[in-house]
Amino acid sequence: MENSFTEENYLKAIYKLSRRTNGGVSTNALAERMDTKASSVTDMLKRLSSKKLVDYQKYQGVTLTDKGLKVAVDIIRKHRLWEVFLVEHLGFGEHEVHDVAEQMEHVSSPLLVERLDKFLNHPKYDPHGGPIPDADGKFPAPTRVKLDELPVGKQSKVLGVTEHSDSFLAYLKKVGLDLGQQFTLIDRHDFDRSVDLLLNGEPLHVSHEVARHIFVSN
């Protein structure tokens, strides 16, 4: 009935990797993400499988069961709620919260989570713009899209990012694409999938590599 921190971290990693690949998650992908060895992953997948948290058969990759999915989403809920708390109430910077939340997400108390959620006024997004699932595991309706998928002519604003490296965030700051910044998408170039924006009356050219990491409203 109890999942270890390690098990919880694996489940979350499987969840995140499976969002971007169809079919099962590979042992190597998981090893890379968990910063461990493939052999350790294999061991863990057997353990998770015996606890009915994942569907796993050797050489075929792994997927979450309903039970495993529930656990993974609950960890994500806790992680993101704590990030909101740290930023909004303790004055943490956005880039300072992740490692702490990585620990807090494992505190086990349903009462705590629901009271924290209420205290925070049931936030729908974390400080990075990540959506926060509710107590039933449902994510907020996606009122957002990646910048590289926004239709031409649309007015929009920056809601979040999926890449948190210092260099990326510094770049966004430099060109003015801060969180909440409004803009209009005025053109799209198919040959390199780059886009042209208009923000504060100034034109801005954004590469696909950058655009695909930015969440915007739609």
Partner DNA sequence: TACATGATTTAGATGAGTCTAAAAATAAAT
Partner DNA sequence: ATTTATTTTTAGACTCATCTAAATCATGTA
Residues that bind DNA (CB under 7 A): 4, 6-7, 26-29, 36-47, 56, 58-61
What residues from 66 to 105 belong to the interface with Mn ion (CB under 5 A)? 98, 102
204 binds a copy of itself (CB under 8 A): no
Q: Judge contact between 155 and 186, C-beta under 8 A.
A: no
Q: Judge contact between 185 and 152, C-beta under 8 A.
A: yes
| Minimum CB–partner distance for residue 111 and a copy of itself (Å) | 7
Closer to Mn ion by Cβ: residue 101 or 216 = 101
Q: In the set 1, 111, 141, 170, which binds a copy of itself (CB under 8 A)?
A: 111
Closer to a copy of itself by Cβ: residue 53 or 81 = 81
Question: Which class for 96: exposed (0-12), middle (13-18), buried (19 or more C-beta within 10 A)?
Answer: middle
| Minimum CB–partner distance for residue 74 and DNA (Å) | 17
Q: Which of 148, 136, 125 is nearest to 210 (CA)?
A: 148
* Partner whose footprint covers residue 113, from Mn ion, a copy of itself, DNA, none (CB < 5 to 8 Å by kind): none
What residues from 127 to 156 belong to the interface with a copy of itself (CB under 8 A)? none
Long-range CB contacts for residues 90-97, cutoff 8 Å, separation at least 24: 94/127, 94/128, 95/164, 95/166, 95/169, 97/127
- The residue ranges that bind a copy of itself (CB under 8 A) are 86, 89-92, 96, 99-100, 103-104, 107-109, 111-112, 115-116, 119
